[in-house]
Amino acid sequence: MLAGHRAAEPSPAAAVRHPPAGHAGAGGRPLGHPAALLGTGNVLLAGGLAGLYSNPSATAAALLYNPATNIWASTGPMQTARANQTETVLPGGQVLVAGGEGFANHLATQLSSAELYTP
């Protein structure tokens, strides 16, 4: 399910609610990642927190969701594992991923880095 303005017109800040197993927080809820609506109509889920609530860690993993077919597909990882980052879709299809937090061993570290990600 995509939460946006209207089902036919999801906002660029749409939140994807049901990613496949292994890519969500406890209870099936995604944690700590934005969703970016790409020019192709696919939705990019990149980074976020993986693992258990008791000891999550940031991940560099990324998924693409095709709302027309309701299919999830893995895509290449980001260079840096991060959660709570910003994502800006650029002309040409790349995504500027900036900031966020690294998270491991119960410790969050603010990231000041950015990367150009190609889904």
CATH number of the domain that residue 34 is part of: 2.120.10.80
CB 33 within 8 A of CB 24: no
CB 117 within 8 A of CB 46: yes
User: In whole angstroms, what is the distance from residue 46 CA to residue 58 CA?
Assistant: 11
Q: What is the pLDDT of residues 49-90, one digit of tens each?
A: 887 777 788 999 999 999 999 999 999 999 999 999 999 999
DSSP one-letter code for 76:
P
**How many distinct structural domains can be found in the chain?**
1
User: In whole angstroms, what is the distance from residue 27 CA to residue 108 CA?
Assistant: 22
Q: Which residue has the higher pLDDT, 19 or 80?
A: 80
Structural domain harbouring 47: 2-117
User: In whole angstroms, what is the distance from residue 62 CA to residue 60 CA?
Assistant: 7
According to the model, what pLDDT value does residue 19 have?
Answer: 54
According to the model, what pLDDT value does residue 2 have?
Answer: 39
